Chain A
């Protein structure tokens, strides 16, 4: 009952000092808005990264990189055929516990030409697994590159949604049409779904069969590939798989260890470290803002108490205990901070909208996080409580006689 009426009283008290209360709230408003917006920016960036990370195979992905052979093999290193499509087929055959093996030959930037338009794209020669690993799918009516395309060196191409629109006006219109680059004509068999990760490398890309890429775009005697990857079924399989891969590839590379199997745990750790440092630094900024807001409230509460010493005296004279006075002033501080917190949340919506409009798309979507709003609100309440405690203790301890006499 006392708490309820203290809250009502607090609301009323704020009503009588609207401007002063608003000023004292500003710190909280800014703190909460900053907190929600910062979390939004970080989460947007992180979810963009996470999608890209997942989209490129996730933590289960193993990559077979080119590596310098050990010293004792330097003299015979030239005997290795390096990484070729043979490795791809060998891994598929010899490492059955791998979920997917993928290979890629990068053609790099190419200017695609439709009947009327031109567009620069990053052209990738791939195997069918790439689409599953990187989670690409095609619009209805189209298809992705198949094993048969790879086998037959078909001149087919899958376009990114954005490029298809540039080249043909409408993404769906591209299907069955042709595009050419460096004198070679490709039939568009598929157009990717629009990309929502904000990743630039996923929105300006075109896929052709890896065999077609090697045949038409590599040097005549160069059959090497750039990327050779493999996805484990489970993370626990990775050590065993690594072993199997090494054995298999030592055979195809004629015993020369000019490759290295790399896992992505380090990449993930780096990313997590980055995420933590963002959260700490931005959280620190928001915390300082909230702290400043709390000091503002405490200051206003102290001023308000010295104005209301007589009121405190009267309340005590008619029976208020120290605890009742304490609750009254803490409730007032809480009401200020709760209103400030709510206004801060409203302000954060606008702030996030503003950030969305000024920040480049590629940095990821600035997300409005309900969780961050909840935390912001909770923090504002904690700050309000803490900033009310000291003035409230001061008020509660006023001796009744002195307070009543105060003019």
Chain B
């Protein structure tokens, strides 16, 4: 059974008198342990796809199964539960809270998942995993871009998510740091983590084992491939 199954997913918005079909009949399976890159030009619908996969939005029609459960019509707080307990996010702009320490930022998903007991230990472990355990009391503003992104990855890992979604995770990094982050992602996948990266960068997409091409709200192709080839 696939971790995520999308069947005929549509997402339509009304903009004034027009209906924008951001996604128009997408069917897609994502297996547990897969490493996929979503590619597509701006406005292709890949962001919308990300939002749906990330439980930040819901489809206009169609069915979405997560771990076998129908999650197409969830209440906002149920979606928040999935974000806190089942998903990890990595963003282009890191999205760390500037007034919280590194440790507090990393434990945030656990706080919202009501897992206070060993939250600090889990957060330290996650920071250790990304090589940032020497900076736990720092504020994000005191870190370099690469360091911030690693902290953000630690935050995405901390709740042991079923799926990590990375939205242009290397967009704000220099070459050296891109490499470092991608190495980290590769290693996570090797450990069995399911990971989806949305990117413009073909080099980044090369790391993935499958590629999902989106255009005009449609899936124009999925191909196996990536770094093995």
Contacts and interface: CB of A to CB of B under 8 A. Distances in A.
Interface of A: 1-2, 5, 12-13, 16, 310-311, 313-324, 400-401, 404
Contacts of A310: 95
A117 to B, nearest CB: 73
A400 B111 CA distance: 18
A404 B95 contact: yes
Contact of B112 (A13, A311, A315, A400): A315
Contact of B89 (A12, A318, A322): A318
In the complex, the 6 A-B pairs of residues with the closest C-beta atoms, listed nearest first: A319-B84, A319-B112, A321-B80, A319-B83, A321-B77, A318-B109
B199 to A, nearest CB: 18
Contacts of A319: 80-81, 83-85, 108-109, 112-113, 159
* Most chain B CB neighbours (cut-off 10 Å) among A2, A313, A319: A319
Given A16-B99, A404-B95, A317 B83 contact: yes
Given A400-B56, A401-B51, A316 B80 contact: yes
B112 to A, nearest CB: 4
B73 to A, nearest CB: 17
B114 interface: yes
A324 B97 contact: no
Interface residues of B, number: 26
Contacts of A321: 76-77, 80-81, 112
B20 interface: no
A5 B76 CA distance: 22
A311 to B, nearest CB: 6
B155 interface: yes
B114 A318 contact: no
Nearest to B109: A318
Given A319-B80, A321-B76, A322-B77, A2 B111 contact: yes
B57 interface: yes
A324 B112 contact: yes
A314 B77 CA distance: 15
B103 to A, nearest CB: 13
Given A311-B97, A318-B155, A401-B57, A323 B77 contact: yes
Contacts of B97: 311, 314-315
Given A1-B111, A401-B51, A318 B116 contact: no
B22 to A, nearest CB: 12
16 contacts: A5-B111, A316-B80, A317-B54, A317-B56, A317-B95, A318-B89, A319-B84, A320-B112, A321-B76, A321-B80, A321-B81, A321-B112, A324-B112, A401-B57, A404-B56, A404-B95
Contacts of B57: 401
B111 to A, nearest CB: 6
B76 A318 contact: no
A314 B96 CA distance: 8
Contacts of A12: 99
